[in-house]
């Protein structure tokens, strides 16, 4: 029976795993071991709504403390400056996975020209507002949002929460491990300490010290679908730029560039393919687009893919040690939350005695989750016809989407029908049918079905869009909303009776 757990690493993955375990299974003895000299990766600042849900509802972090310490801003979705339309928005509410009975066809068929104002979040994003305004002028904070958070603020906040939850944190560098029939018996630190546990969580980032270093579990590469392998990262102190309520993802000659909106800081990064552009050229292009970026670049290499089995014997890998894809959809924290939740649930269900079939089931689910993420990201690239550089030519010609070929064929014949969901019986993922439809319609993926709604229905759709745009225009922007939430009389939903 598992009583003692060691989590190796205290980046966002290790801290989220330790905190989730301790809060859901308080009887466990949970210890984090981390090496401050190695430090944390220090990037990873966008998220998805499941992250918010995980923090507040599954782990039980109090909203006021989180907002005070982590200083997040709200993100309603991603604005893609991408593809032949110039831009389209992927919001966290539903734009295209929806049909209004009186309009007779799903929303996507009305978006031949534009996706603007297709939902309330899309209208708010278009107006630069985070929330609609209540009659008392304060923001109506709905559920379709996630956060932008500076990585060091997130790590500090999670560490404070972990301390409060009685997770022990030990500094030291792991340099070896002792094995037994269950996997690992103890880890060895370079100062001679030996730390035993029944269960180990490998959250050691790209170093993957336990799952790869000790257990040798192979890595499944995504190099047939995703061609980027480096990022150059930079940012600047915010001047008079408005705080946008969304992440921007903008196509570049050999990849794409993110913009993440913090209260006092703008964070930019160019994700590129080193086969297509050198570091120097990438940095030059990045700075041309963002003259405020400092002259000293920081380059971060990465490999897209995942451990074949993230859970082997008594070692459970999480975060970058389990797998990684570029942050085009800010998936890392989303996956870490899913993994933490799954681990806590499995330990609970198995009364702390995990069977091999539980482990096998988890590994199968993870394999499926990673494949869907790979294919979803690949979809962003495959149908973007806007640029004709060697990188984008390669994306169009070579991106392997065989994993979702049936979905593409269906779309080509039937257009943005929400019935596409029935092709995907195992379609449990955080992007949903919505994400796939937005990417297909947004990029004008090949489709033989004409988007020709009945003129009366089209008029109704346009009236609906205008109504949402009008409602959004009088909304509350991020800066004003932050001001409201910092007033002494503000109460978060978990502070109300």
Residues lying near ligand FAD in the complex (CB under 6 A): 8-14, 33-35, 38-41, 43-47, 173-174, 203-205, 207, 209, 231, 233, 269, 300, 302, 319-320, 327, 330, 332-333
Query: Toward ligand FAD, which CB reaches closer, 12 or 121?
Result: 12
Within 8 A by CB and 6+ apart from 383, the residues are: 83, 396, 439, 440, 443, 444, 445, 446
Chain center to CA of 173: 29
State whether residue 470 is helix, strand or coil: helix
**Residue 78 CB, nearest approach to ligand FAD (Å):** 10
Query: Toward ligand FAD, which CB reaches closer, 45 or 477?
Result: 45
Query: Toward ligand FAD, which CB reaches closer, 153 or 350?
Result: 153
**Residue 153 CB, nearest approach to ligand FAD (Å):** 12
**Residue 375 CB, nearest approach to ligand FAD (Å):** 19
> 156, 12 in Cβ contact below 8 A?
no
**Residue 188 CB, nearest approach to ligand FAD (Å):** 10
**Residue 493 CB, nearest approach to ligand FAD (Å):** 24
Query: Toward ligand FAD, which CB reaches closer, 161 or 209?
Result: 209
- Alpha carbon distances (Å) from 200 to 114, 185, 187: 50, 9, 9
Q: Rounded distance, CA 263 to CA 101, Å?
A: 41
Q: Rounded distance, CA 219 to CA 229, Å?
A: 15
**Residue 330 CB, nearest approach to ligand FAD (Å):** 4
Residue with tokens 């009305």: 110
**Residue 210 CB, nearest approach to ligand FAD (Å):** 9
Query: Toward ligand FAD, which CB reaches closer, 376 or 461?
Result: 376
Query: Toward ligand FAD, which CB reaches closer, 73 or 204?
Result: 204
DSSP 11-67: SHHHHHHHHHHHHH-TTSEEEEEE-TTT-------B--HHHHHIIIIIS---HHHHH
Within 8 A by CB and 6+ apart from 12, the residues are: 40, 44, 151, 154, 155, 158, 319, 333, 336
Query: Toward ligand FAD, which CB reaches closer, 41 or 165?
Result: 41
- Burial of residue 168, with CB atoms counted within 10 A of its CB: 0-12 exposed, 13-18 middle, 19 or more buried: middle
Task: Determine the straight-line distance between the first and last CA of the chain, rounded to whole angstroms.
Answer: 39
**Residue 447 CB, nearest approach to ligand FAD (Å):** 31
> 384, 395 in Cβ contact below 8 A?
yes
**Residue 14 CB, nearest approach to ligand FAD (Å):** 5
State whether residue 442 is helix, strand or coil: helix
**Residue 80 CB, nearest approach to ligand FAD (Å):** 15
> 7, 201 in Cβ contact below 8 A?
yes
Residue nearest to ligand FAD (CB): 11
Query: Toward ligand FAD, which CB reaches closer, 343 or 418?
Result: 343
Query: Toward ligand FAD, which CB reaches closer, 103 or 277?
Result: 277
**Residue 205 CB, nearest approach to ligand FAD (Å):** 3
Query: Toward ligand FAD, which CB reaches closer, 265 or 421?
Result: 265
Query: Toward ligand FAD, which CB reaches closer, 300 or 387?
Result: 300
DSSP 250-315: EEETTEEEEEEE-SSEEEEEEEE-TTTS-HHHHHHHHHHH-TTS-SS-EEEE---EEES-SEETTE
- Tokens representing residue 448 in the block: 């033989």
Q: Rounded distance, CA 71 to CA 263, Å?
A: 8
């Amino acid at each position: 029976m598992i009583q003692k757990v060691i989590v190796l690493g205290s980046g966002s993955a290790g801290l989220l795993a330790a905190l989730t375990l301790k809060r859901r299974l308080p009887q466990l003895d949970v210890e984090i071991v981390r090496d401050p000299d190695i430090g944390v990766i220090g990037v990873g600042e966008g998220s998805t709504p499941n992250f918010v849900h995980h923090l507040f509802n599954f782990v039980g972090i109090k909203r006021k403390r989180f907002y005070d310490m982590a200083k997040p801003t709200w993100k309603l979705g991603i604005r893609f400056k991408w593809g032949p339309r110039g831009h389209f928005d992927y919001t966290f509410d539903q734009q295209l996975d929806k049909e209004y009975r009186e309009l007779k066809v799903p929303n996507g068929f009305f978006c031949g020209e534009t996706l603007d104002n297709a939902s309330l979040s899309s209208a708010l994003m278009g107006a630069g507002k985070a929330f609609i305004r209540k009659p008392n002028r304060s923001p109506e904070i709905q559920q379709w949002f996630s956060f932008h958070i500076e990585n060091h603020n997130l790590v500090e906040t999670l560490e404070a929460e972990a301390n409060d939850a009685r997770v022990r944190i030990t500094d030291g560098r792991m340099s070896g491990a002792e094995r037994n029939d269950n996997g690992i018996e103890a880890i060895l630190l370079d100062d001679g300490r030996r730390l035993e546990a029944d269960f180990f969580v490998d959250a050691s980032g790209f170093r993957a010290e336990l799952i790869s270093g000790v257990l040798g579990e192979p890595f499944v590469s995504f190099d047939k679908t995703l061609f980027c392998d480096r990022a150059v990262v930079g940012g600047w102190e915010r001047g008079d730029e408005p705080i946008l309520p969304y992440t921007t993802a903008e196509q570049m000659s050999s990849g794409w560039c993110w913009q993440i909106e913090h209260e006092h800081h703008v964070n930019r990064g160019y994700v590129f393919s080193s086969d297509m552009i050198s570091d120097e050229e990438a940095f030059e292009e990045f700075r041309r687009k963002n003259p405020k970026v400092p002259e000293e670049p920081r380059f971060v290499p990465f490999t897209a893919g995942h451990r074949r089995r993230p859970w082997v014997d008594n070692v459970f890998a999480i975060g970058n040690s389990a797998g990684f894809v570029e942050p085009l959809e800010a998936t890392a924290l989303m996956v870490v939350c899913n993994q933490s939740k799954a681990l806590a649930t499995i330990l609970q269900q198995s009364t702390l005695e995990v069977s091999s079939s539980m482990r096998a089931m988890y590994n199968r689910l993870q394999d499926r989750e990673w494949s869907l993420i790979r294919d979803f990201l690949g979809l962003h690239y495959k149908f973007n016809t806007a640029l004709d550089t060697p990188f984008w030519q390669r994306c169009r010609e070579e991106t392997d989407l065989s994993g979702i070929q049936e979905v593409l064929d269906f779309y080509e014949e039937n257009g943005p029908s929400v019935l596409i969901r029935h092709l995907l019986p195992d379609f449990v993922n955080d992007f949903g049918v919505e994400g796939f439809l937005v990417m297909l319609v947004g990029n004008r993926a090949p489709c033989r079905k004409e988007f020709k709604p009945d003129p009366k229905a089209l008029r109704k759709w346009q009236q609906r869009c205008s109504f949402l745009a009008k409602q959004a225009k009088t909304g509350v922007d991020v800066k004003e909303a932050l001001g409201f939430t910092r007033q002494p009389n503000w109460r978060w939903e978990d502070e109300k009776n």
